[in-house]
């Protein structure tokens, strides 16, 4: 990565040729990085097949199919009657359309070019394409902060960072795939505007922000991070007109554009997530006004005016605060929404909103997951932060702020590790590039010493480090100078201003001495350092490839396991969905836990009661209650929802751990949250969740247990559950209100049908006196069950 620099340094005088050569090399490197980012994500296609992965991508895929078939207006107004039966869902107004529109556009473009790719193929490869885009955006962003070398380094690191791979392998057709690119690109345009003060980039920034809003709910991160940075700049006395241009248009245009997205709508001005941006907007204007007045008045007059304004302002502030406090105190929740509370107190959601806590990716990450997902970057980040402070510019302070906030959010939710990944890559890229710069420079010094004449060595040895160091130390700034000078005029003006101020502020002459001392590294040490860094990079690459190939490529609808006699493929999910689509009526309703809702609608094309878009807690709680009720009560609930089939996922036979029995406690919790007759302690024996002989009777009689373990004892004669690792509690039982209609090859998916209501109601047969030979049917008739 240091190559361009080395070459530029080696070329010495011929500036233009060197720049051109560096530019070509840089473009070539970027191209390779793009290819790398794309191809490292293809393991899933090579190892498995070209399919959509997991849960949410299936929904996105279905929406894209609809879009490509019916056009954008139908998509916008799409009322989907096949999910959330009988409530339905207004898809057009509740979905972030960015990803769908992107893939739909790509598909449309290819088709109009007579490249007849299927929608599914386009969807599968959208994520890898956008990760290449994301690494290029990373290059641009880092280049704005620390120059080309750091940019290339960061881009290369991001192209294969495991955290991002986990969300963007081929087939992982989810919002994040596009959103990370949009996030980085928005940051790039913000920093670019901040550096140039160009209104053109500010407008582009707002458009990019709009794309981000279209793509992912994570856009709130942008609209909070940028105000924070603006505030930081103001507080540290870095206010400038560039800052104003970078921020004010973004807030106004961005908010207007964001409100155009149906799913955001008035949230863009009404919810607490956006308040920070407006507050900072006001502060920025006050500061701008103060600077303006300062320029008009004499210092003495300004002081008088300041005291006057501050005293009046404080009085007004107190009044407003008092009113606000009164208003907040009068509202029952003290003005805090659950969401903002969960931001401040990360455990809030898991304590009070079980439906949020039940999603594994909403849990706080464990320490190993940091090393799994960002690997060596975790060690390089501190070095990157240090180098960002040498010297601290608007752009580098933004990087630091981005990293710090991203670290916090990744600690709240494992899913937000994804937001941390670009920050980690940028700072590691900066760190590595700086280190490589220092090491190669000192190597070069020593080499030039060697190649230069030996008698002159001591003298030149004394002088050359100085000269080279001075040249080197200004190297980065110089190259910046050069590029900026050669570039267009409007760009130069603000940057000149910028430099002027900086020179005043940072006292440039102090710096070179410091760096001179740093730069004198022994030749051996720098060679060793470079080698070690290359080894470190090698380990990182090996880890990334391993993560891409092994850890993150499984599509989760097809599972594999390796044993002595080769690889086993578990394709039960698709088997079950295919069964549903071939053997049930088009309008039949299938109930399952919400995890499988998207897949059922997309793959089996059957109406579901709840799905992964968990917008209606009560509806989910109804299904949870039914699953945790005994058969008869469950039958009544399902019948009232017109359910005909019930699908459960059971891993006990093959040892698939994320099955419904392991998710069952969440069903109880979510159900019990709305219907209090479901109580969690009833399902626990001494606080322990178990389904063996020690399990509570409530547990052994609930629908989920019965549907999972019905006829299970017939498989091995003992009913040994491989996931739980013990024999189940109740082995022999019959189903009264449900009948098994389909069980997949490995028993991973079991489908049951609701029995129809009894055609006749049997009379109460009292005990037949002196009648020994009661037929079995009559004996069964004594049960006082109207369905029996």
Q: List residues binding other proteins (CB under 8 A).
A: 73, 76-77, 79, 81, 85-88, 90, 262, 587, 607, 640-641, 757-766, 768-769, 771, 773-775, 777-778, 781
Looking at beta carbons only, is 582 or 769 nearer to other proteins? 769
Looking at beta carbons only, is 81 or 361 nearer to other proteins? 81
List, in sequence order, the alpha helices (H) in 331-393.
Answer: 338-344, 348-352, 354-357, 367-373, 377-388
Closest CA to 54 of 669, 664, 740, 555: 555
**C-alpha torsion angle, residues 9, 10, 15, 20 (rounded to 10):** -100
Looking at beta carbons only, is 90 or 390 nearer to other proteins? 90
Nearest approach in angstroms of CB 625 to other proteins is 15
Burial code of 627-664, b = ≥16 C-beta within 10 A, e = fewer?
Answer: bbbebebbbebbbebebbbbbbbbbbbbebeebbbbbb
List, in sequence order, the alpha helices (H) in 113-266.
Answer: 119-146, 148-159, 162-168, 175-196, 199-215, 219-235, 241-260
CA atoms of 418 and 410, how far apart (whole Å): 8
CA atoms of 352 and 479, how far apart (whole Å): 55
Looking at beta carbons only, is 300 or 784 nearer to other proteins? 784
Looking at beta carbons only, is 493 or 758 nearer to other proteins? 758
Looking at beta carbons only, is 711 or 762 nearer to other proteins? 762
Nearest approach in angstroms of CB 288 to other proteins is 16
**Contact (CB, 8 A) for 172 and 99:** no
Closest CA to 431 of 171, 180, 145: 145
Nearest approach in angstroms of CB 781 to other proteins is 6
**Contact (CB, 8 A) for 727 and 692:** yes
Nearest approach in angstroms of CB 263 to other proteins is 13
Looking at beta carbons only, is 316 or 779 nearer to other proteins? 779
Bridge partner list, 630: 702
Nearest approach in angstroms of CB 150 to other proteins is 40
Nearest approach in angstroms of CB 763 to other proteins is 4
**Contact (CB, 8 A) for 556 and 575:** no
Nearest approach in angstroms of CB 757 to other proteins is 6
CA atoms of 165 and 184, how far apart (whole Å): 16
CA dihedral (549, 552, 558, 561) positive or negative: positive
Looking at beta carbons only, is 608 or 700 nearer to other proteins? 608
CA atoms of 138 and 140, how far apart (whole Å): 5
Looking at beta carbons only, is 76 or 292 nearer to other proteins? 76
Nearest approach in angstroms of CB 526 to other proteins is 57
**Contact (CB, 8 A) for 75 and 67:** yes
Nearest approach in angstroms of CB 257 to other proteins is 16
């Amino acid at each position: 990565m240091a190559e361009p620099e080395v070459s530029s340094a080696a070329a010495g005088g011929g500036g233009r040729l060197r720049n051109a050569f560096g530019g070509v090399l840089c473009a070539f490197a970027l191209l390779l990085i793009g290819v790398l980012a794309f191809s490292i994500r293809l393991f899933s296609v090579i190892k498995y097949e070209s399919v959509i992965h997991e849960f949410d991508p299936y929904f996105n895929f279905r929406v894209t199919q609809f879009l490509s078939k019916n056009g954008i207006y139908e998509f916008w107004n799409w009322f989907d009657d096949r999910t959330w039966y009988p409530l339905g869902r207004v898809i057009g107004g509740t979905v972030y359309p960015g990803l769908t529109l992107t893939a739909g556009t790509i598909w449309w473009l290819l088709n109009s070019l007579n490249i007849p790719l299927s929608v599914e193929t386009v969807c599968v490869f959208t994520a890898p394409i956008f990760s290449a885009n994301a690494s290029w955006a990373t290059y641009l962003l880092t280049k704005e902060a620390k120059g080309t070398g750091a940019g290339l380094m960061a881009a290369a690191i991001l192209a294969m960072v495991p955290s991002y791979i986990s969300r963007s392998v081929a087939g992982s057709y989810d919002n994040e795939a596009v959103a990370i690119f949009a996030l980085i690109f928005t940051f790039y345009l913000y920093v670019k505007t901040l550096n140039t003060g160009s209104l053109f980039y500010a407008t582009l920034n707002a458009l990019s922000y709009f794309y981000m809003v279209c793509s992912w709910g994570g856009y709130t991160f942008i609209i909070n991070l940028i105000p924070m940075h603006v505030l930081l700049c103001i507080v540290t006395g870095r206010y400038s007109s560039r800052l104003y241009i970078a921020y004010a248009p973004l807030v106004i245009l961005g908010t207007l554009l964001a409100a155009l997205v149906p799913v955001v709508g008035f949230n863009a001005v009404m919810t607490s997530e956006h308040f920070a941006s407006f507050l900072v907007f006001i502060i920025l204007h006050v500061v701008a006004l103060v600077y303006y007045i300062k320029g008009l008045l004499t210092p003495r007059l300004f002081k008088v005016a300041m005291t006057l304004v501050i005293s009046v302002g404080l009085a007004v502030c107190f009044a407003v605060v008092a009113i606000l406090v009164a208003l907040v105190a009068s509202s029952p929740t003290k003005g805090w929404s659950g969401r903002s509370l969960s931001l401040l107190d990360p455990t809030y959601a898991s304590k009070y909103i079980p439906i949020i806590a039940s999603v594994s990716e909403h849990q706080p990450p464990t320490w190993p997951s940091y090393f799994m997902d960002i690997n060596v970057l975790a060690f390089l980040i501190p070095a990157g932060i240090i180098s960002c402070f040498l010297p601290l510019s608007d752009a580098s302070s933004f990087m630091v702020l981005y990293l710090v906030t991203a670290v916090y959010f990744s600690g709240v939710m494992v899913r937000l590790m994804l937001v941390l990944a670009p920050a980690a890559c940028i700072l590691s890229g900066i760190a590595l590039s700086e280190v490589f710069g220092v090491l190669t420079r000192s190597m070069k010094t020593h080499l030039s010493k060697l190649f230069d004449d030996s008698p002159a060595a001591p003298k030149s040895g004394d002088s050359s480090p100085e000269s080279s160091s001075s040249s080197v130390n200004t190297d980065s700034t110089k190259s910046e100078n050069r590029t900026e000078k050669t570039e267009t005029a409007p760009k130069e003006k603000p940057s000149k201003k910028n430099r002027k101020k900086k020179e005043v502020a940072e006292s440039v002459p102090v710096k070179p001495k410091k760096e001179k001392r740093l730069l004198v590294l022994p030749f051996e040490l720098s060679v060793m350092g470079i080698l070690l860094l290359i080894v470190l990079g090698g380990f990182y690459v090996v880890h990334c490839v391993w993560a891409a190939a092994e850890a993150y490529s499984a599509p989760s609808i097809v599972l594999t396991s390796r044993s002595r006699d080769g690889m086993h493929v578990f394709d039960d999910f698709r088997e079950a969905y295919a069964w549903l689509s071939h053997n049930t009526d088009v309008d039949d309703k299938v109930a399952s836990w919400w995890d499988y809702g998207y897949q059922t609608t997309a793959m089996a094309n059957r109406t579901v009661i709840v799905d992964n878009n968990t917008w209606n807690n009560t509806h989910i709680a109804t299904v949870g209650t039914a699953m945790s009720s005994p058969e008869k009560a469950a039958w009544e609930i399902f019948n009232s929802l017109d359910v005909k089939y019930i699908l459960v996922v059971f891993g006990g036979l093959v040892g698939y751990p994320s099955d419904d029995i392991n998710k069952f406690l969440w069903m109880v919790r979510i159900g019990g949250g709305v219907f209090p007759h479901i109580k969690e302690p009833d399902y626990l024996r001494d606080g322990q969740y178990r389904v063996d002989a020690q399990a509570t009777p409530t547990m052994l009689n609930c629908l989920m247990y019965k549907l999972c373990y019905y006829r299970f004892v017939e498989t091995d004669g003992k009913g040994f559950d491989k996931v739980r690792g013990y024999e189940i509690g109740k082995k022999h039982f019959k189903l009264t209100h449900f009948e098994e209609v389909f069980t997949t090859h490995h028993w991973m998916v079991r489908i049951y049908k609701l029995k129809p209501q009894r055609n006749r109601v049997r009379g109460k047969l009292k005990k037949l006196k002196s009648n020994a030979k009661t037929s079995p049917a009559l004996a069964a008739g004594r049960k006082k069950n109207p369905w029996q």
